[in-house]
Structure 1
Amino acid sequence: METRKIQQVGGGTYTVSLPKEWATAADIEPGAVVALHSHIDGTLVVQTGIEERNGEPLSLSVADTEPASLEPMLRAAYAAGIDSLELDAPDGVTDETHRRVDRLTRALTGVTVTDSSDDAIQVRSLLDVEEVSITQSVRQLQFAALSAHREATAALTAASAAPAGGDDGTDRIAAMVDHYFQRGLDSLSVMDSLGLTRPELFDRWVTARELARVADHADRMASVADRLDDPVDPDFAADVDDLADRSRDLVEDAVSVVLDAGDGGTGSAAPDDADVATARRCLDERDDLCAVLDDFDRRLFEADGADYRLTHAVDALRGTTEAAGAVAEVGLQSLLRERCSPGSVDVGQTL
């Protein structure tokens, strides 16, 4: 690391010299124009090559592509942060391809078909990054995932109508977080618009992925409920209800640690002992709940007449608990990272 002395020009503008070796390597000459990015974490970035993208979409040929394979390709492009895509088919775009593209764009937030012809389809993401809140998206994802989990538990233990499953609400939100996570990594201006530091954006991205797994576990439980031949034994049902409640409470507590850490990047709230204690408690409860689930699994195995398919539901609850633990670990790491900043309190006080 080099240091430079700040100079003042004409009693107004502050200036700092650039290292000559860096300027030479970057082809910087007197009169060249660079971009300056002041970020919310206090850094000032000097960027060369500031020409804006020409707005032309990424062009992909789908001439020999089966319509069924379009979905993973388009989802991959969206997850990669690509905002504009043109699908070219010189021999003509089939009606089936048009239908599949239309259906997929409706399943992705802010994505629409902006131009469609006999030999090409143009797809764009029109959502303004200024309107995106990653933190709020994670909260919405938590609500959707836990709601699905609650409904699946009720279907399993109360013989209520099993949810249909496969709801794309959680998939839609998780995909949007993926999209803007990648865009934030690629563009400093997008990162500034999101209002998060890179570590905070990463923490929320990991949290979103774990919440998507919670939704997957809810689907597994709903599937078990749909396949059971007889109602669950009342004693076992009561245990499943209790364990499911504990796993969902653990998810909520773990997510709150991540989203409350650092007060969203403003730096206005330092982590206190209670935050760290909550994260550590989540990890302890993760271990305790996994042990209880293991014991319950053994009881099911040894019980006469118990439907073996219930063990798949127990495995889904274990997966939910482990997802909560993974989020709590992210939250604890974030808290300790903040405590390493200048002027923070000694982490040894709570460790």
Structure 2
Amino acid sequence: MEKRKAHRVGRSSTAVTLPHKWVIQNGIQPGEYLFIHESDQKTLILTTSDTISGRDSVKEFEILSSTPPVQLVRLLIGTYLVGANDVTFKCKDAPFSAAQLEVLNKSIGRLTGFLVVEQTDDMFSVRNYLEPTGALFSDHLGQLLSTTTRMVNMVPRLLANPGSSELYRVISTLGDQSDMLYYLTVRILLMSLSNRRLLIDLGFDGPQEVVGGRLIAKSLEEICDRIECMARLVEDYDNEGRVTDEDLHANLKKRIDHICELIDVSVEGYFSGSVSLPDSALQELYDLERSKQGPLLSYIENEANTKATGMLSGFRSLIQEVGRLTRVISEVAMNNSLRRI
């Protein structure tokens, strides 16, 4: 505890100076607003945001056994993303339905740091055990990048192995992993926007850089989602839809390898502030997104097998969408590097 003397300011105000260490840790600058919360008659709480994290970190929801399970999942994930540390669901007409408990327990497995602390007929309570600074933000985004590029590299295998349940299971597992990393990344980013000290500890220069990180994480997660959806569709195909053209497979692999390279360079550039990505690469991605030509389209036009045609059309749309999202990542990274100049 530290004791400080109150000083008279003007006719009706009283001022107390702030501890230098606290000012430095929270990056307080002269002229900035601070927020005072009255706890009781003898206690004031001073914060850098207009909310008290201790209050916001506890969420409690009253539901019915008839409440749709998907609504519970949205509430749970939403509170996780905004930084809640304790979340409790109370069922007013206990017990919970089996479907509700099933989706809640399944969702917990996708929220890094959340563990179930109590589960009864009328209460389901979880708590967070992971500090936002337990690992560098770059580590989390780097893991998401690694998962994304691994999934993108599996696209040619999807085309070559339609109907493969084993391949679908691998991609589905990677998709779940990407969701976990995305949720954790967004949680940390949103918490840093309302906590200046956390913003500094994570190495961000300002809110603009946080927003950029959010856009990159979302783009990576969307790429994973689209590949997972394509894998689900391809699983329903059989050997009749197999594409055997070796030149087509070689061209597709070359295009996929190049896209992965551009994704790596862009995300690394976001952290380093120097994106070695030529304008021609962005134009290439733009052309890929809007392309009305190419080997896939030529093969589609000349293919008599309707199953193969349908699958190739899906892959063409997938590659165009991956190209669009890669361009978004590249532009965010380049804007961030320009802002640092």
Q: TM-score interval w.r.t. the shorter chain?
A: 0.7 to 0.9
Once residues 272 and 115 of structure 2 are traced to their aligned partners in structure 1, the CA distance between those partners, rounded to angstroms, is 34
Residue in 2 aligned with 1:338?
A: 340
Residue in 2 aligned with 1:75?
A: 77
* Candidates 162, 168, 174, aligned match of 1:163: 168
Contact 1:112 1:124 in 2 (8 A): yes
Contact 1:250 1:286 in 2 (8 A): no
SS in 2 for 1:166: helix
Residue in 1 aligned with 2:39?
A: none
Residue in 2 aligned with 1:148?
A: 151
SS in 2 for 1:137: helix
Aligned CA distance change for structure 1 residues 291 and 53 (closer, same or farther; 3 Å): closer
1:250-290 deviation digits (Å, cap 9, x = unpaired):
212222221221xxxxxxxxx5xxx3x52534313313444
* Candidates 226, 243, 264, aligned match of 2:255: 243
Residue 314 (str. 1) matches residue 316 (str. 2): yes
* Candidates 90, 93, 116, aligned match of 2:119: 116
Residue 256 (str. 1) matches residue 268 (str. 2): yes
Residue in 1 aligned with 2:298?
A: 299
- Whichever residue aligns with residue 230 of structure 1, its letter is G
Root-mean-square deviation (CA), in Å?
Answer: 3.1
Once residues 132 and 303 of structure 2 are traced to their aligned partners in structure 1, the CA distance between those partners, rounded to angstroms, is 57
* Candidates 168, 172, 184, aligned match of 2:192: 184
Aligned CA distance change for structure 1 residues 222 and 297 (closer, same or farther; 3 Å): same
Count of aligned pairs between the two proteins: 303
SS in 2 for 1:92: coil
Aligned-pair distance for 1:203?
Answer: 1.8
Aligned-pair distance for 1:205?
Answer: 1.6
SS in 2 for 1:287: helix
Aligned-pair distance for 1:291?
Answer: 5.8
Residue in 2 aligned with 1:344?
A: none
Once residues 321 and 38 of structure 1 are traced to their aligned partners in structure 2, the CA distance between those partners, rounded to angstroms, is 43
Residue in 1 aligned with 2:325?
A: 323
- Whichever residue aligns with residue 132 of structure 1, its letter is A
Contact 2:141 2:217 in 1 (8 A): yes
Residue 195 (str. 1) matches residue 203 (str. 2): yes
Once residues 231 and 141 of structure 1 are traced to their aligned partners in structure 2, the CA distance between those partners, rounded to angstroms, is 31
Once residues 283 and 304 of structure 1 are traced to their aligned partners in structure 2, the CA distance between those partners, rounded to angstroms, is 31
Once residues 153 and 101 of structure 1 are traced to their aligned partners in structure 2, the CA distance between those partners, rounded to angstroms, is 35
Q: Which segments of 5 or more consecutive residues in structure 2 lack a partner in the other structure? A: 1-6, 37-45
Aligned CA distance change for structure 1 residues 315 and 227 (closer, same or farther; 3 Å): same
Residue in 2 aligned with 1:48?
A: 35
Under a length normalisation based on structure 1, what TM-score does the superposition of the two structures give?
A: 0.75
1:15-43 deviation digits (Å, cap 9, x = unpaired):
xx9x98xxx9xxx6334869954369895
Contact 2:115 2:127 in 1 (8 A): yes
SS in 1 for 2:127: strand
- Whichever residue aligns with residue 60 of structure 1, its letter is F
Residue 211 (str. 1) matches residue 196 (str. 2): no
State which drifts further: 128-137 or 160-169: 160-169
Aligned-pair distance for 1:293?
Answer: 6.7
State which drifts further: 42-51 or 195-204: 42-51
Residue in 1 aligned with 2:141?
A: 138
SS in 1 for 2:172: coil
Aligned CA distance change for structure 1 residues 29 and 88 (closer, same or farther; 3 Å): farther
Aligned-pair distance for 1:163?
Answer: 2.5
Q: Which segments of 5 or more consecutive residues in structure 1 lack a partner in the other structure? A: 1-16, 262-270, 340-351
Aligned-pair distance for 1:106?
Answer: 1.6
Once residues 340 and 145 of structure 2 are traced to their aligned partners in structure 1, the CA distance between those partners, rounded to angstroms, is 24
Residue in 2 aligned with 1:13?
A: none
Aligned-pair distance for 1:222?
Answer: 2.1
Residue 61 (str. 1) matches residue 62 (str. 2): yes
Aligned CA distance change for structure 1 residues 53 and 200 (closer, same or farther; 3 Å): closer
Aligned CA distance change for structure 1 residues 288 and 253 (closer, same or farther; 3 Å): farther
Aligned CA distance change for structure 1 residues 125 and 237 (closer, same or farther; 3 Å): same
Aligned-pair distance for 1:147?
Answer: 1.1
Residue in 2 aligned with 1:89?
A: 91
Contact 1:257 1:279 in 2 (8 A): no
Once residues 174 and 181 of structure 1 are traced to their aligned partners in structure 2, the CA distance between those partners, rounded to angstroms, is 11
Residue in 2 aligned with 1:230?
A: 241
Contact 1:210 1:324 in 2 (8 A): yes
